[in-house]
């Protein structure tokens, strides 16, 4: 039976034993983009974008699967199975990379979309209502989906009928039924956000944002200035599902969000972005790594706020006279050489060389949108853009970077009260570093049929979708 399963997975070209294998595979031709309706007057949808430069439909939406409900606000979706299925001893019964597991962060619903027969028109094959997460796992507000060892990991911001604690729900790889909460002993962990791991070392990491009432109607200034949002990292033993160490980055560092571990499974380090410091409105990126058999976190990137006249700022920021960078997403290339940092407030996407992870080197920058700058896309030089680089995704070969401009409905409205619009673009990565805008690739406005684009997943996997069990 094991041989049969291994043979089956050898036939799936999108499962990779190592980062090197992933990079060498054929490039993506489609991108799946979660698009949500604000203010929920139409169903959310999964948009399918043609990203093949040789295609006559390049840079256009070629498929659009509307969901059956209102008010989901689609968020960070993922695949049912990925390269972690090839880990020794991990079992090989996860099926092919076929289904997208799509969470609604406001509704607590989970959708399962089948991409196999019609990749450009995913079909809804299962819907899990909010009661499924609640009664079986004790959680609500699903945020992020990762295919992993033993099941599908879904981080959730809230408890069932309660503010918290948030945590991780485990779903069956095949039936997609909720198995239960992943944690056996959470210690004092209460806030949740992302979950990732060092799969060969049985170490999981979780980060912190806030509970549903702290985020879903917008940022709460009193809570932010009172340093009440999440500011810690938690490290877990994956075998015992126990919280074994917590690192506090300092309560001035508010909202510790995206986790990006090294893709090389021999390496035990990773990066995490912090949205804002309440001391100076700067944003930062931290490196977690081992030191003397304990986990430590070191600030390796700091990005300052940019002064701006009060009349150019939204009411939330006028008293500060500056635009915070607001690092809301980061992405690590599959070769572990480049880190991309979204500065949603200032409208900048930064590239860093992180071959020495403790000493990143700033190697590239693209400005687009921004609270004050409103920098246009080169394809539309006379059209100021609102919103800024937000969800970022990198191709497996590390040559292409895609990003969209919407963060989260209520937060969009606070920081961009005139609206954020809806747009998606792509950058090309230079051989020796640096990034340039692909002027042929710009989707905007009606392309997303009145929805705002958010999370991107690339056909065949991308830089934040897979874990590898064999080194390059």
Query: How confident is the model at residue 208, as a pLDDT?
Result: 98
d(CA 141, CA 108): 5
Q: What span, in angstroms and rounded, lies between the C-alpha atoms of 184 and 305? A: 40
Q: What is the pLDDT of residues 288-309, one digit of tens each?
A: 999 999 999 999 999 999 999 9
What's the pLDDT at 25? 96
Model pLDDT for residues 321-373, shown as the tens digit of each residue: 999 999 999 999 999 999 999 999 999 999 999 999 999 999 999 999 999 99
Cα-based angle 69, 456, 172 (whole degrees, multiple of 5): 65
Contacts of 469 (CB under 8 A, 6+ apart): 17, 83, 84, 86, 87, 88, 90, 199, 200, 265
- The secondary structure of 243-279 as a DSSP string is EEEEEE--TTEEEEEEEEE-SSTT--EEEEEEEEETT
On the question of a cis peptide bond just before residue 39, with omega within 30 degrees of 0, the verdict is yes
Contacts of residue 367, Cβ cutoff 8 Å, sequence gap at least 6: 346, 347, 348, 373, 375
**Digit-coded pLDDT (tens) for 438-472:** 999 999 989 999 999 999 999 999 999 999 999 99
pLDDT digits (tens, 9 = 90+) for 244-259: 999 999 999 999 999 9
Q: Tell me: pLDDT of 415 over 60.
A: yes
pLDDT at 6 over 80: no
Per-residue model confidence (pLDDT) at position 432: 86
Q: DSSP letter at 83?
A: G
* pLDDT value at 91 more than 80: no
Q: Which residues pair with 457 in a beta bridge?
A: 32
What percentage of the chain has pLDDT greater than the value 70?
96
Region 107-128: what's the mean pLDDT?
A: 98
Backbone angles phi, psi at 265, to 5 degrees: -70, -10
Taking phi over 0 as left and psi of -120 to 50 as alpha, with beta for the rest, 49 belongs to beta
Mean pLDDT of the chain: 95
Rounded to 5 degrees, φ, ψ at 274 are -115, 125
Beta bridge partners of 424: 404, 443
pLDDT digits (tens, 9 = 90+) for 202-244: 999 999 999 999 999 999 999 999 999 999 999 999 999 999 9
pLDDT at 94 over 80: no
Contacts of 213 (CB under 8 A, 6+ apart): 163
Flag whether the pTM goes above 0.85. Answer: yes
Q: pLDDT for 29-78, tens place per residue?
A: 999 999 999 989 999 999 999 999 999 999 999 999 999 999 999 999 99
Whole-number pLDDT of residue 464: 97
**For the segment 81-90, what is each residue's pLDDT rounded down to a tens digit?**
999 988 886 5
Rounded to 5, what percent of the chain is helix, strand, coil?
A: 10, 40, 50
Q: Model confidence at 14, in pLDDT bands (50, 70, 90)?
A: very high
Which pLDDT belongs to residue 240? 97
Q: Please determine, for residue 7, whether its predicted confidence score (pLDDT) is greater than 60.
A: no
Grade residue 5 by pLDDT with cuts at 50, 70 and 90: very low
Q: Residues near 228 by Cβ (< 8 Å), separated by ≥ 6? A: 210, 214
Interacting residues of 383 by C-beta distance below 8 A, sequence separation 6+: 376, 377
Instruction: Report which DSSP code applies to 50.
Output: E
């Amino acid at each position: 039976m094991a041989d049969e399963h291994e043979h089956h997975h050898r036939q799936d070209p999108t499962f990779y034993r190592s980062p090197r294998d992933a990079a060498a595979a054929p490039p993506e031709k489609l991108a799946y983009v979660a698009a949500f309706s604000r203010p929920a007057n139409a169903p959310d949808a999964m948009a399918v974008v043609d990203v093949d430069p040789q295609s006559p439909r390049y840079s256009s939406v070629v498929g659009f699967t509307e969901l059956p409900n209102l008010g989901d606000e689609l968020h960070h979706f993922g695949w049912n199975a990925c390269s972690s299925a090839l880990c020794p001893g991990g079992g090989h019964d996860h099926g092919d990379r076929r289904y997208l597991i799509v969470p609604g962060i406001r509704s607590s619903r989970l959708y399962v979309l089948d991409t196999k027969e019609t990749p450009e028109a995913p079909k809804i094959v299962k819907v899990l209502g909010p009661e499924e997460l609640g009664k079986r796992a004790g959680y609500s507000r699903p945020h992020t989906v990762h295919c992993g060892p033993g099941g599908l990991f879904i981080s959730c911001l809230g408890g069932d009928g309660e503010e918290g604690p948030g945590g991780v729900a485990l779903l069956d790889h095949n039936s997609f039924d909720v198995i239960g909460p992943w944690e056996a002993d959470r210690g004092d962990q209460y806030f949740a956000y992302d979950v990732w791991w060092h799969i060969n070392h049985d170490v999981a990491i979780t980060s912190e944002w806030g509970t549903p009432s702290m985020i879903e109607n917008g940022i709460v200034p009193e809570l932010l200035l009172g340093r009440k949002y999440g500011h810690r990292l938690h490290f877990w033993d994956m075998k015992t599902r126990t919280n074994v160490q917590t690192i506090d980055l300092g309560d001035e560092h508010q909202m510790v969000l995206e986790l990006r571990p090294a893709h090389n499974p021999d390496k035990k380090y990773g990066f995490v972005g912090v949205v804002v410091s309440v001391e100076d409105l700067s944003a930062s990126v931290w490196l977690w790594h081992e030191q003397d058999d304990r986990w430590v976190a070191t600030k390796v990137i700091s990005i300052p706020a940019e002064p701006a006249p009060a009349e150019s700022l939204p009411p939330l920021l006028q008293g500060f006279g500056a635009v915070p960078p607001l690092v809301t997403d980061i992405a690590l290339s599959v070769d572990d050489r480049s880190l991309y940092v979204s500065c949603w407030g200032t409208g900048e996407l930064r590239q860093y060389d992180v071959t020495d992870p403790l000493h990143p080197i700033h190697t590239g920058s693209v400005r687009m949108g921004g609270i004050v700058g409103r920098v246009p896309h080169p394809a539309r030089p006379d059209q100021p853009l609102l919103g800024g680089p937000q969800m970022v995704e990198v191709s497996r070969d590390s040559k292409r970077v895609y990003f969209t401009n919407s963060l989260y409905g209520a937060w969009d409205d606070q920081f961009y009260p005139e609206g954020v619009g809806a747009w998606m673009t792509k950058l090309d990565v230079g051989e020796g570093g640096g990034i340039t805008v692909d002027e042929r690739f710009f989707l905007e406005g009606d392309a997303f049929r009145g929805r705002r684009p958010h999370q991107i997943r690339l056909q065949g996997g991308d830089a934040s979708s897979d874990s590898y069990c064999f080194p390059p």
